[in-house]
Copies of this chain bind each other. A is one copy, B any other.
Amino acid sequence: MSERISEAELAVMEVLWREAPLTALDVAARIDPARDWSDRTIKTMLGRLLAKGVLAHEEDGRRYLYRPLVARSAYVAGESQRLIDRLFGGRAAPLVAYLAEHHDMSATDIAELEALVRELKA
């Protein structure tokens, strides 16, 4: 179950993670207009996501209502793990170190991180 979600499909999932269930057209209405997708395209995405088992649809009269079957958190976990496996030898710590070094962290970010570390030590 739950094959990989492609880049474009992710845009559809994001909409449904934010609000569900929705009809196909409701999803279309909530897609970032910058994508400039035809309704047809979004229907195709919904169909593929159904086939992949990451969405469910229930009939609502003559249309369907779509809802996610996988939680966003599960997807985030999977994708993060993929990155860790592919580029950081499967360990999260090197990625954390990498991020801390290469991405400008605001003072707030650092304070949060500090609190986190304190908590982890406990």
Contacts and interface: CB of A to CB of B under 8 A. Distances in A.
Interface string A79-101: 11001101100011101111111
A37 to B, nearest CB: 17
A103 B92 contact: yes
B80 A10 contact: no
Report copies per complex. Answer: 2
Q: What is the predominant secondary structure among interface residues of chain A facing chain B?
A: helix
B101 A116 contact: yes
Given A80-B83, A83-B79, A97 B113 contact: yes
Contact of A92 (B93, B105, B116): B105
Nearest to A11: B86
A106 B105 CA distance: 23
Interface of A: 7, 10, 75-77, 79-80, 83-84, 86-87, 91-93, 95-103, 105-106, 109-110, 112-114, 116-117, 120-121
